[in-house]
Chain A
Amino acid sequence: MSDTAVQMAAIDKRFGGIHALRHVSFTARFGEITALLGENGAGKSTILKILRGVEAPDSGTITLRGQSFDRLTPQSARALGVGMIFQELSLVPTLTVAQNMFLGHEPCNALGLIDETAMERGAKTIFASIGVYIDPQAEVGALSTGLQQLVEIAKVLNQDAEVLVLDEPTSALSGQEVDVLFDLLGRLRASGKAIIYVSHRMDEIFRITDRATVLRNGSLVASRPISEYTLPSLIADMIGRQTQGLAAPPGPSAATKEVVLSLRGVTSTARPNPVTFDLHRGEVLGLAGLMGSGRSRIARMLFGLEPAVAGEIILHGQPIRISTPSQAIEAGLALIPEDRRRQGLVLAHSIEANVALPMLGALGRGPFVQAAKLRALAARIIARLAIKAGGGEVAANTLSGGNQQKIVIGKWLETRPEILILDEPTAGIDIGAKSEVLGIVRDLAAAGKSVIFISSELAELIAVSDRIAVVSRGEIVKTLKTSQLTLGDGHDGSLRAEEALQLIIQGGMNHD
């Protein structure tokens, strides 16, 4: 058997007008852990979907076990030994470990009934072979996330997987659980499995992987042994030499000295680390950090969704308590949540019904809603944000992602917030809508409002923020002026800024 496990050659894939993959080649070898790297939208998830058989490439070939294919199906990919460990675990929490591992292909006894003992024996064999002990009879829901992750891996191995794909496997794990996982990955590598590892945490990449394949804007940048990389050179490869036509760097800052909101050692129940920062009038404060670092929690805490239990929130010099969203709205806050489909909109309802929700109080006297006022409100939002929709009665789920997001933003702008919190407002929307969103944020700041802007895309964070606070493990580990990052001019300057910020974020990870 050759040592090449997966050979994807000259893969091309378009989604509508977006060229997601351009002639990308990707190789994974047995006995190696290959890192697949790139920024959001670089094409990592597309290439993994093609490998899993969920998407078909437009051109190119996939070679597995010496056979070449134009495309795979989920069934053929599994039969050829590709096993995917999902970010959101795909286990049934109410079934036992053994039942989960054999889900869909349970062994049967002579009577055609499920043979529980055979399942438990099989599960024990797998666990013994990878040196993990988990009780096969334990209910999955009762296990910690770390153990569930191991069960997930065992489940995939039980289906005779030779190529294991792990997508951000550590985002929900504690440090100790990560150690256990990495021990296991090391043993699997030694036993000859091919492992493809996707993570935004560079310390993990250097710690566990053998080779790095870097994608950028749908193209292959490099595929080299990890030993040839340093953290700065790897980040430089990921970020590249071209910015993606984002909004122009911010104009003169509108930030004033006046402190609007101030958090002093604030924490909600779930998070042990207290948060302290000041927000000024006319300022855009960016929150940077990795997935699961606790940025969104700060937003939810401020908006009364996870009320603070300790510390002090001071608004316009007055200490206040915010324990429900309606109190937060009253205090002049607005939150554009990270998941617009789940948290931002009632998708099946009309634009009018959606935009009315935060401000029903102002839409008519007494108990009644004035239809004319509601129509005018929706029309105003549609016009102000140039939303492409047939009218206010159109259901939100008929619109594109960018237009849906604009409805969410519009409904909150109409509440005239003094402080606007945006959590990943540009996720999943096209580049045009993206720069419009950034423009709206800058306009708000110029009008004397204050903004907290959360984003995983460093380029836009730098483009829009006056200051950036880096969050790690629920704590703000560093706060810096964006101008400190962008010392150079033009493209080169903003690129170096992104690299510098990425280094700080990754450094925050290394603290513990």
Chain B
Amino acid sequence: MTDNTVLSAPPQSRLQRFAKGWRQNIIYIGFILVFLFFAITLGDRGFLDTRNLLNIVRQTTMIAVMAVAMTFVLSAGEIDLSVGAVAGLASVTTAMAISWGGLFFGLATGVTTGLVVGVVNGLLSTRLMIPTFLTTLAMMGVCKGISMWISGTASIPILDETYTSVFGGGNLGPVPSLVLWMVAAAIIGHILLKKTKFGHRVLAVGGNVVAARYSGIDTGRVKLGVLVMSALAASIAGMLYAGRLQSGRFQLGEGDELSVIAAVVLGGTSLFGGRGTVVGSIVGALMIGVINNGLILMGLEYSQQLIARGAIIILAVALSQTGSRQR
């Protein structure tokens, strides 16, 4: 009858709530600040040109598509390190399948690639109880190995123009198709996370897996679901890479898992589960894209770019985490 009975939080003042909201929404403010900074300093070097801005979005699309799915994975308290390698593998399988059996066979093969990897990741994690960190780390190597092996480490060209237009350089009216892919991923992901039963279950499992289980939620199925979703998104990202470069190569997507996770965490999704935002992840991905682009325009060397990018990401994540750290 002692300790926790008298524990009741005082009502938050408007100021406190604003301060908390400000910290949680740091990504949006940060994005605007970074954008303004580059706009002012690099305005005369073409940063604000429509072509440059669209280019940023095009380069960011693959990361953004994977980040949308990664938002669900992290929200469920899991992680997926295999996305970059799956993207590479899907680019290769799609390219090979198109040259073999045509457009639709290629599409089906690309999507199936993601589906298979996701199910394998999911079953290893839920049936054999191997932590996703390890299963997906192992799958990263396996996928990369397979794509190197079946392609003989060569680039496989894609000659189908419909494919390269829809998945790469084409436009729908004035809008580049890659922009449409990103917008579609954002809308679907946002609705799925905030408005559906699946999204509620994902957040509950990530927030407190025991309470979720006691509430009748099949926690294994949720885990499987987010991993399949993530691998599917990665295979689509791989197909977009292949469309943009008109070829499938095992190197495509290499190292993307880190950019994807950075984008999601930057956006305000908790690395420990229970809290997620798809819109934040998209903005996080765009922010990384803007930083990359700005640093190039500034004339920094690649080595300098790497250092600057790392510093900016750490700063942004540190700011967004201070407000949301759990007691």
Quick one: CB contact mask for B191-214 with A, threshold 8 Å, 1 for yes? 000011111110110011011111
Does B6 sit within 8 A of A, measured CB to CB?
yes
Beta-carbon contact of B197 and A363 below 8 Å? yes
Whether B5 pairs with A369 at a CB distance below 8 angstroms is no
Categorize the interface residue count of chain A. Answer: 35 or more
User: Does B207 contact A349, Cβ atoms closer than 8 Å?
Assistant: yes
Q: Tell me the nearest residue of chain B to A429, going by C-beta.
A: B5
User: In the complex, how many angstroms separate the beta carbon of B276 from the nearest chain A beta carbon?
Assistant: 12
- CB of B201 within 8 A of CB of A337, answer no
**Contact residues in B for A346 (Cβ distance below 8 Å):** 203-204, 207-208, 211-212, 274
- B311 at the binding interface (Cβ < 8 Å): no
A305 sits at the interface (CB 8 A): yes
Q: Mark B179-196, 1 if CB is under 8 A from A, else 0.
A: 000000000000000011
Query: In the complex the two chains form, what is the Cα distance from A207 to B187 in whole Å?
Result: 69
Q: Is B216 an interface residue (CB 8 A)?
A: yes
- Contact across chains for B211 and A345 when beta carbons are under 8 A apart: yes
B207 to chain A, nearest CB (A): 4
Q: Counting chain B CB atoms within 10 Å of each CB, which of A335, A347, A348, A368 scores highest? A: A348
B3 and A15 contacting across the interface, CB-CB below 8 Å:
yes
Contact A326 B216, CB 8 Å, known A41-B2, A346-B204, A430-B5: yes
**B326 near A348: Cβ-Cβ < 8 Å:** yes
A16 to B204, CA, bound (A): 33
Inter-chain CA distance A335–B200, complex, in Å, is 21
Complex CA gap A328/B213 in Å reads 12
Q: Which residues of A contact B217 (CB under 8 A)?
A: 325-326, 357
Q: How far is the CB of A401 from chain B (nearest CB, A)?
A: 4
Given contacts A45-B2, A342-B210, A348-B274, contact A358 B215 (CB under 8 A): yes
Interface of B, helix, strand, loop or mixed by DSSP: helix
Q: Are B7 and A343 in touch, CB under 8 angstroms?
A: no
User: What chain B residues lie within 8 Å of A428 (beta carbons)?
Assistant: 1, 3-5
B199 neighbours in A (Cβ, 8 Å):
369
Cβ distance A287 to chain B, nearest Cβ, rounded Å: 18
Query: How distant is B289 from chain A, measured CB to nearest CB, in Å?
Result: 31
Residue B161 is within 8 A (CB to CB) of chain A in the complex: no
Within 8 A of B (CB), among A1-18: 15-18
Interface flags, A394-409, vs B, CB<8A=1, else 0: 0001111111000000
With a cutoff of 8 Å between Cβ atoms, the chain A residues found around residue B213 in the complex are 305, 325
B210 partner residues in chain A, CB cutoff 8 A: 342-343
Name the residue in B4, B197, B208, B211 with the highest tally of chain A Cβ atoms < 10 Å from its Cβ: B211
Chain B nearest CB from A341 CB (Å) reads 9
Q: Cβ of A317 < 8 Å from any Cβ of B?
A: no
B8 at interface, CB cutoff 8 A: yes
Given contacts A428-B4, A428-B5, contact A343 B197 (CB under 8 A): no
Residue of chain B at shortest CB distance from A390: B11
B4 cross-chain contacts in A, Cβ below 8 A:
400-401, 428
Q: List 27 A-B contacts (CB under 8 A).
A: A15-B3, A41-B1, A41-B2, A303-B214, A305-B213, A325-B213, A325-B214, A328-B216, A329-B216, A342-B210, A344-B211, A353-B200, A353-B204, A356-B200, A357-B200, A357-B201, A358-B215, A368-B195, A368-B196, A369-B199, A371-B195, A397-B9, A398-B8, A398-B9, A400-B5, A428-B1, A430-B1
Which B residues have a C-beta under 8 Å from some C-beta of A?
Answer: 1-9, 11, 195-201, 203-204, 207-208, 210-218, 274-275, 326
- Report which A residues bind B (CB closer than 8 A): 15-18, 20, 40-41, 45-46, 303, 305, 324-326, 328-329, 335, 337, 342-349, 353, 356-358, 360-361, 363-364, 367-369, 371, 390, 397-403, 411, 428-431
Q: Which 4 A-B pairs have the closest CB atoms?
A: A16-B6, A346-B207, A41-B1, A357-B215
| New A-B contacts (6) at CB < 8 Å, excluding given A18-B2, A345-B208, A348-B274 | A343-B210, A345-B211, A346-B211, A360-B200, A368-B197, A369-B199
